Amino acid sequence: MKSYNQGNLATSIQQNPKRKQKISQKKRVTVRYGISGAEKLTYFFSILFLVALCLLITARYAQISSYNFQMIKMQKEIKTLTEATGELRVQIDTLSRPERIQQIAEKMGLTSNDSTVRVVK
């Protein structure tokens, strides 16, 4: 029974021993502002992937430029060798003239016998 229904105000109010005061605990809700751990890992690995990709592309461009420098060097070398070959061919042509060979032979004391000499070109 409720204490206000007992009828006499002089009586002391007896409290019901069965009732215990309930201690209510409020749950604390914490709101975290920021990025979660999974998102941080995702961002970290994506940045790591992009950096690795940039390094790979840079290394490829460096290798390509190295090949281009080697190719230019080889082209210059081929050009100089072609010029040297042309000069040597001119020198061969001047040294292998029949008149020159005949002059050298006459200086050495050789005589020509026209019946046995054959010129092949």
53-76 confidence digits (pLDDT tens): 999 999 999 999 999 999 999 999
| Contact by Cβ (8 Å): 35, 43 | yes
Is the per-residue pLDDT at 81 higher than 90? yes
- What would the mean pLDDT of 29-37 be, rounded to a whole number? 83
* Structure token pair of residue 109: 């004391």
Least confident of 17-21, 35-39, 100-104: 17-21
* Structure token pair of residue 19: 């009732």
pTM (two decimals): 0.49
Query: CA 13 to CA 1: how far, in whole Å?
Result: 11
Residues 6 or more apart whose Cβ sits within 8 Å of residue 13: 3, 6
Is the per-residue pLDDT at 1 higher than 90? no
